[in-house]
Amino acid sequence: LGLEAVADMDPLTGLNNRRFLYKEFPALQRQTELGQSLSMALLDIDYFKSINDLHGHLAGDAVLRQVASELSRAMADLGHVVRFGGEEFAIVLTSCPLPEAKEVCSALLSHLASISFSIGRKQSIHITASIGATCVWPTDSFESALSRADAALYAAKRAGRDRVSTQGPCMEQLAHRQ
């Protein structure tokens, strides 16, 4: 791998990282200029600090690797997954309007909640996660789309965690109003 590829990769999970998504965002966003839908979501593992505190950082790392693997597998044909930092992952859903993205994210949460994550020494735990999703506009900067997804994520956390919250309105919703 070249230095550029190494700089764009998260060493723990093997996923691309936030830097990669920042660089690729303009290319992804171009599809909105062509009238295609693009949604961005942030997923945060609920109570992740407790996993580290109760079971140790190696267990937390094991959970992160397994979550990354599950997200990659689930999103392989739907979009891109990156490790955003800490226990947070970003998901970009291509050709996916926000209502559909919410359904995909809800199914993803159900899938993650159904898995026993191995944390070593024949121990396993169950996790939940929260997701905030938004649509991406042709005029959005990376920061503005990220800010809406982040606000939606924290709305999901405030509403009790283990849920998807969205922040719009999106082009599809505005088109129906006219």
pTM of the model: 0.93
Q: What is the pLDDT of residue 171?
A: 54
- What is the SS3 assignment for 119? strand
Active site residue 143: no
Radius of gyration of the chain from its Cα atoms, rounded to whole angstroms: 16
Identified catalytic residue from 70, 87, 88, 172: 87
Q: What is the pLDDT of residue 4?
A: 84
Q: With 70 as the cut, is the pLDDT of residue 72 above it?
A: yes
Token reading at 156: 């999901």
For the segment 64-80, the average pLDDT, to the nearest whole number, is: 96
CATH for the stretch 3-167: 3.30.70.270
For the segment 8-37, the average pLDDT, to the nearest whole number, is: 95
State the Cα–Cα distance between residues 167 and 46, nearest whole angstrom.
Answer: 20
State the Cα–Cα distance between residues 171 and 136, nearest whole angstrom.
Answer: 9
Q: What is the pLDDT of residue 178?
A: 45
CA angle 10, 15, 20 (to 5 degrees): 75
For the segment 83-89, the average pLDDT, to the nearest whole number, is: 97
